[in-house]
Structures are given as structure tokens and as C-alpha cells.
Amino acid sequence: MLTRIDHIGIACHDLEATVEFYKATYGFTDAHFEVNEEQGVRECMLKINETGDGAASYLQLIEPIREDSAVAKWLAKNGEGVHHIAFGTDRAVADEAADIAGKGVRVLYDAPRNGSMGSLINFLHPKDCHGVLTELVQKA
Amino acid sequence: MLTRIDHIGIACHDLEATVEFYKATYGFTDAHFEVNEEQGVRECMLKINETGDGAASYLQLIEPIREDSAVAKWLAKNGEGVHHIAFGTDRAVADEAADIAGKGVRVLYDAPRNGSMGSLINFLHPKDCHGVLTELVQKA
């Protein structure tokens, strides 16, 4: 079952400048930085609130580190903005993805990959989700 | 202070079909429909999770009801997808917006307008927010 908005993924050209914007403008302070080589991005998870399932909701600010990464291509086409949304699941993300695939929605990876903060993730094809690139997240 | 992700606003061509997609694919059930004449949209708030500030996070699915509405123009240009993100504030939205305006971010309305479920809202200019149309929400 999907139990929360895990994060909103926002693509940006300059990670530090964008994090500073969110901190200075809104007062968000809880920031976790990491690099995801597989996805070709540097990112910052800014915690916004606790959620009723015992987890939390974040903004995920992402900056490409390779020109051939999916996020770099997306930024070149669209400019900065919301890149994807992510729901947290309370079970194995592989099981969640398999059930959703059974409803006719294309799942992007054959097996879960590594997401932020030790999570396991998969993505759903935006063309099957009314234009929204949608991520499924199993918390670490 | 901003205390939660209040909602993710998603523009769509067919509200009932899009709500049905979210219900059938993910199992979301808590749906609240209304019309916002001022914004020129029909909308459905799909509750996703409770938040630590005693409120909740929603998906807000929005369909334009007038061709001259901002959302209709946005859809014509971009197609279906994430239109805006919204943060909930724990104080008067007019005060929150004034403080943010003081940091150099353009606020779209001179005074708060009516949002979903009795809330008061304002918007921040996406060009001042790294490409993200950002809404501030004071819960009813």
C-alpha cells in the first residue's frame, strides 16, 4: 500500500544555490546530501514534515552530474522544475511495482534500484500516469 | 512557518478519468470534489497521508472549466503533469506571503484567495522559485 508522499523531485542546474533558496526563503533546515552515480545526479533531501506512517516527506533537489543522465536531458528540454513525484510503500517495492504493472502501467526498471538515504526505488512511465513521472519508494 | 507539503497540484484533461486512475492504480480512496470558479477549475483533493502538524498531504487533480483559465493555458502548452506544489503554513497566509515577498520573491495576488476545502492561498512566481510554481496554504 502507498502510505505517503515520500518526496517531490525537483531538477535544478545548481544544487547549492537551489538548496540555499529553499533554506533562505522558507526556513527549511534539515538537509541530507548524497550522490547517486547510477542515476547520474547529486541531490539534497530537504525534510519538510513527518508523515502518519512514521516516515517523512521531503523535497528532493537534483542536479545532473553527467550530460547523458536522464535528468540532464530533461533539464535541457524543460528547464528547472518539478521532475517527478514519489510515493512511499509499506512493503517491498518489487511487490508494489509488480501489482501496478499488472494494472497495465509500465514500470521502468526490471528490478529495484538504489534511491535516496538507502531506499529501494522504481519508476512508472509518465505516459501511463497522466503525464506524471512517478516513483515508488521503499524506505531503508 | 511552513509545516508540511500541503498538496501536489496536477493538471489533467479529464478529472473523472484521472481520479479513477489514481484510485484504481494506487488504491487511494479519500476524495473531495469541488469547483473553484475564481481559478477556473474543477478539482479533486485525494488525501494521501496525515502530517506531523495535524493536517494532511493531498494530490490536487485539476481540470480547467474555462479556456481562458491559467490552468487551461498551461495544459495547452505543457500537456498533463505536475502544475504546482503547495506548502502549508501555520499562520495567516498573508503574513507568510509578506515575509517571503520581503526576500525578493514575487507573490502573485495582492490579497489571499480561496483555495481547496475552505483554505486561503497565494502563489509565488515560478521564475523566482527555480521553475516551480509554489502555493502557500492556510488551512480552513
**pLDDT band for position B41 (cuts 50, 70, 90):** very high
Q: Tell me, what's the pLDDT at A69? A: 95
A105 at B interface, C-beta within 8 A: yes
CB contact under 8 A, A100 and B25: yes
Low-confidence ranges of chain A (pLDDT < 70): none
A to B CB pairs, distance under 8 Å: 105
> Residue B49 and residue A53: Cβ atoms within 8 Å?
yes
Residues of A in contact with B122 (CB under 8 A): none
| pLDDT value of position B115 | 96
pLDDT per residue over A42-81, tens digit each?
Answer: 999 999 999 999 999 999 999 999 999 999 999 999 999 9
* A10/B130 touch (CB, cutoff 8 Å), yes or no: yes
pLDDT of B55: 98
- The answer to whether B77 touches B102, Cβ cutoff 8 Å, is no
pLDDT band at B137 (very low <50, low <70, confident <90, very high): very high
pLDDT attached to residue A86: 98
**CB within 8 Å: B10 and A49:** no
CATH assignment, B2-138: 3.10.180.10
pLDDT digits (tens, 9 = 90+) for B45-79: 999 999 999 999 999 999 999 999 999 999 999 99
Q: What is the predicted ipTM?
A: 0.97
Whether chain B has a CB inside 8 Å of the CB on A4: the answer is: yes
Which pLDDT belongs to residue B11?
98
Q: Please give the average per-residue pLDDT across B92-112, as a whole number.
A: 98
Active site residue A43: yes
